[in-house]
Structure 1
Amino acid sequence: MKTQRRVSAAVVALLLGGAGIAITASPAQAAEATFKVKCVPPAGGGDPVEGETTAKVTAPATAKVGDEVDVVWETVKPASNNTDLMDIPKDAVQPTGWITVGGGQAGELKVVGEKKNPPIPKKAPMVMSAMKGKLKLTKAGKVTLTPGKYDVAVTFSFGTFVTKCAPVGEVKGGATIDVSAGSSGGATNGGATNGGATNGGATNGGAHGGTTGGGGGQTDFPGKPVEVAFDCGPVVPGGIKTPVTINAKKNGGSYDLTVKTAKGAMAAPMALPAGALKPSMNVKLGGADSGTVKVSGPANADPIPDKAPVSLSDMTGTYKPGKSGKVTLSPDQLTIDVTMAPGATPINVPCKAASSGVSLELDTAAQPGGSGSSTSTTGSTTSGGLAETGAEDEGGIKALALVAGTVILLGGAVFTFTPWRRLRGTR
């Protein structure tokens, strides 16, 4: 949808910077590095953007082998202010960075900021929290800390957008720690330890496929929004265009999926009964696995008054891997069942994904009875995906306006159903 593309493009310009306030242990020293970055927006967010930023890395001036020291990355000069398109809400921005460790030891240190910021008006300077991490020192000598690539996640009411930024050319500058001999303290792959857990979708994700999951004890794997064009044939002239996000939560060897569509609000021009609208979708598997996983959401539990916002619930289901390896998950066919009276035959509206993209990538391990096996009684798959559908009503598209013989989806899509008087009479 056009609004979504403008929002994504706006987010890109916001993210050409690092983080906020540095907090370090004493004694400490800080050093700056000014460098160019290239930021790649999420799908539908426009072209990559380049800018220049000044980052300051703070760490202890001296330490000894075996110490675990605090390292902080802050931005002295962001590369861009907020755009004039929209305000950024409070506590919506979370950065994650990677600092190159060199000199006496080599590796990469992950630093993570809190999801904490004041409201950021249009055209105002960007404000992001400090990115922090802990580094285990394993060798004596001078250890250099140079800022490098970073991701920034911005969460709006309609989804989370992750922009991936990387330096253009060599980065010069950064902090240096003078490490003296001491206890070994136990080396861990070059000494760089994890900088902390991430929230709000700012996990490592790959430019094409959202978050990669499956290891390190992580259980929640947020996907990225991808704009999907649905072709509903003559039933919906012009089709449907909406961002779709696939999120996963590890549950034993399986993954509980939650599929969210765009959020918006439109007034219904007529009253709708409880149970009138029920969505479902096929999630397409790629990479190491194949087939589809069906997810579905419950119908509206309460009647929807005239002129009130209309919501489609989130769609849930379970993916049980049949193959080991990296598996991609993409939105596929969407179906909406419309029932205007109890016991009436639902009007089934299938919408094929004419264009889509990868929302999530998982690093899976094959499970007995996984993809390619018999389907469970609570779900279904095709060509090798096993699904167990769930039912949680948590928002979805607050975007259907029911107008005479049509249902209009936020973003310009129009559902042309049987006229409402005929739907009411269907038994």
Structure 2
Amino acid sequence: MSAAGVALMLGGAGIVLAASPAQAAEVSYRTECIPPPISGLPPVQGTTKVEITAPAEAKVGDEVEVVWKFVEAASKNPDIIDLEKDTVKPTGTLRAAGAQTADIAMEGSRTNPPIPKNSPMKLSDMKGKVKLTKAGEVTLTPDAYNINVSKPMSTDTKCTPKETVKAGATIKVSDGGGTSGGTSGGTSSGGTTSGGTTTSGGGTTSGGPTSGGTSSGGTTSGGGDGGRSDFPGKEVAVTFACKSPGPASINSKVTINAKKNGGSYDLVVKTAKGVMNSPAALPAGALKPSMAVLLGGVDKGTVPVTGPANKDPLEQGKPVDLPDMTGTYKPGASGKSTLSPGTLTIDVTLGGQKIGIPCTVKGSAAVSLELDTAAQPGGASGGDSSGGTTSGTTSGGLAQTGAEDNGALRALALVAGTVILLGGAVFTFTPWRRLRGTR
């Protein structure tokens, strides 16, 4: 019996199961792959060829391992960027039917050779486990799968069958009169990861230091403004969790300052200087930050603040400063109101298409500023955006982060470059020529 013909499973009780000789069958099916949203590209049609390996026979109670081998992915790596070694990871779903039904989570390792431009994708084998609970024939059929690319940023390409897929393997399950080892639970964990996180800076702060904002004028003494007009906030550290294609998490430092303007307050949200080196060329007006400042204390809701787009082109390798973001806070309640960093978004606009990368605060955001407020007609107090207007010159802004950490903002600059838009759109081929033409 060859090594490939035996499925060896080490059960939770330390028992080794020897199943019958394995059988492998190749199956192909029409596939539609959706590039990551950052690319702005249409779906790609292709053919996926896989080989499913599983034991030919087993007994009720056995937990067996199945292997999904990619014979051919749906398309080549586009003629834009070389994918680095060990940056591509597949995950997917294998469907069991017949004597028992189950979704088997399949997961591959992030191991691949360098994949040059315009060359076939090289994806690692995916593996999963299923515990057999009923006698009879169990068929195994490949279903949807996901390709994650971790560099230059974490992106996902989702692929689904566009036709009925034939079974790739069949297991004949006999009634063994009990279990013969094996672990409980039918699927392996992690099969649906959208991972490939590329955090930098560690992401170790969660909400930053104190929650009071008591230093350097960060709070007003009770009973009103006392004639003051300027209210400097306190710099606080925040960890943001970003959605793909952004990084998994980033660290940011944010300061919220206020200036009294009648019954309202003009807000200025500042971030660190030189938060990153631009890894790609970015045209003027392509990147715009904004943030939803969180209200607390007696007041509720958020205040939108927006920064202007970059005035000058950003050069590859040169430091990038994020602009200050401004907005107006109109109090909706009287008493002590707090202001904290909230959801961050970066808008990148290229070729008439806007792409937003939202990043939400992990845990509780630290308070940067506390104000003694007096309720104003039409003020916040539970609304989504107190004050209702932003004072900046930009329009349609997204939440901004002021990150000091290179990781997230590096990803944002990467996003903006047409070359980097490839990111994880590893299944996109022809449409890239159109993008290069517009650049």
With normalisation by structure 2, the TM-score equals 0.49
Counterpart among 214, 223, 227 of residue 243 in structure 2: 223
Match of 1:160 among 144, 154, 159: 154
Q: Return closer, same or farther for 1:355/1:79 CA change in 2, 3 Å cut-off.
A: closer
Amino acid at match of 2:96: V
Q: Return the letter of the residue paired with 1:72.
A: V
Q: Percent identity?
A: 41
Alpha-carbon distance in structure 2 between the residues aligned to 1:155 and 1:192: 28
- For 1:290-329, what aligned pairs fall within 5 Å after superposition? 309-311=318-320
User: 2:78: which partner in 1?
Assistant: 83
* Change in 2 beyond 3 A, CA 1:379/1:196: farther
Distance 1:115 1:64 in 2: 33
Q: Which runs of 5+ in 2 are unaligned?
A: 9-18, 198-239, 251-274, 283-287, 295-299, 306-314, 323-341, 348-352, 371-379, 386-398, 419-439
Q: Does 1:121 align with 2:116?
A: yes
Equivalenced residue count is 269
CA, structure 1 residues 151+197, in 2 after alignment: closer, same or farther (shift >3 Å)? Answer: closer
> Aligned partner of 1:150: which letter?
Y
Q: Distance in 1 between matches of 2:6 and 2:158?
A: 25
Code of the residue aligned with 2:318 in structure 1: it is P
Q: Separation in 2 of the partners of 1:224 and 1:400?
A: 11
Whether the aligned pair in 1 keeps the contact of 2:247 and 2:408 (CA below 8 Å) is no
- Counterparts of 1:88-237 in structure 2 under 5 Å? 88-157=83-152, 159-182=153-176, 183=178, 192-196=186-190, 201=195, 223-225=243-245
Residue equivalent to 1:40: 34
Alpha carbons of 1:186 and 1:248: their partners in 2 closer, same or farther (altered >3 Å)? farther
How far apart, in 2, do the equivalents of 1:97 and 1:67 lie?
A: 22
> Matched residues in 2 for 1:262 and 1:142: separation?
58
- C-alpha root-mean-square deviation of aligned residues, in Å? 5.1
Tell me if the contact between 2:5 and 2:23 (Cα under 8 Å) persists in the aligned partners.
no
Aligned mates of 1:400, 1:246 — CA distance in 2: 9
Unaligned runs of 5+ in 1: 1-20, 204-219, 226-244, 250-259, 268-278, 296-305, 314-328, 335-353, 402-408, 413-427
Please give the alpha-carbon distance, in whole angstroms, between the structure 1 residues aligned to 2:65 and 2:22. 10
Q: Provide the residue aligned with 1:252 in structure 2.
A: none
Corresponding letter in the other structure for 1:173: A
Q: CA contact under 8 A between 1:310 and 1:398: conserved in structure 2?
A: no
Contact persistence 2:278–2:317 (CA under 8 A): no
Q: Spell out, residue by residue over 1:361-392, the C-alpha distance to the aligned partner (whole angstroms, 9 max, x if none).
A: 99x9xx9xx8xxxx85247998479x9x9976
Partners of 1:64 and 1:309 in 2: CA distance: 63
Higher relative contact order (CA 8 A, sep 6+): 2
Q: How far 1:394 moved relative to its partner? A: 3.3
Q: Relative to structure 1, is the Cα distance of residues 111 and 42 closer, same or farther in structure 2, using a 3 angstrom cutoff?
A: same
Matches of 2:304 and 2:247 in 1, distance apart? 12
Mapped to 2, the partners of 1:266 and 1:103 lie a distance apart of 55
Say whether the 8 Å CA contact 2:80–2:117 is kept in structure 1: yes
Aligned residue in 2 for 1:29: 23
Q: Is residue 137–residue 171 contact of structure 2 (8 Å, CA) maintained in 1?
A: yes
The offset of 1:45, in angstroms, is 3.5
Give the counterpart of 2:69 among 64, 67, 74: 74
**Shift of the alpha carbon at 1:94?**
0.7
Provide closer, same or farther for how the CA distance between residues 187 and 22 of structure 1 changes in structure 2, counting only shifts above 3 A: closer
Matched residues in 1 for 2:355 and 2:34: separation?
18
Letter in 2 for 1:86: I
Find the counterpart in structure 1 of residue 395 from structure 2: none
For residues 259-285 of structure 1, what are the alpha-carbon distances to aligned partners after superposition, in whole Å with 9 as ceiling and x for unaligned? x99952569xxxxxxxxxxx9742599
CA contact under 8 A between 2:343 and 2:360: conserved in structure 1?
no
After superposing the two structures, state which structure 1 stretch, 97-106 or 60-69, moved more.
60-69
Amino acid at match of 2:118: K
- Contact 2:82 2:115 (8 Å CA) reproduced: yes
Residue 58 of structure 1: aligned partner: 53
Q: CA deviation at 1:115?
A: 0.9
How far the C-alpha of 1:202 sits from its partner, in A, is 6.5
Cα distance in 2 between the residues matched to 1:119 and 1:167: 27
Alpha-carbon distance in 2 for matches of 1:106, 1:332: 42
- TM value normalised by structure 1: 0.50
Matches within 5 A, 1:237-248: 245=246, 247=248
**Structure 1 CA distance for aligned equivalents of residues 369 and 290 of structure 2:** 12
* 1:339 equivalent in structure 2: none
Q: 8 Å contact 1:105–1:138 — kept in the other structure? A: yes
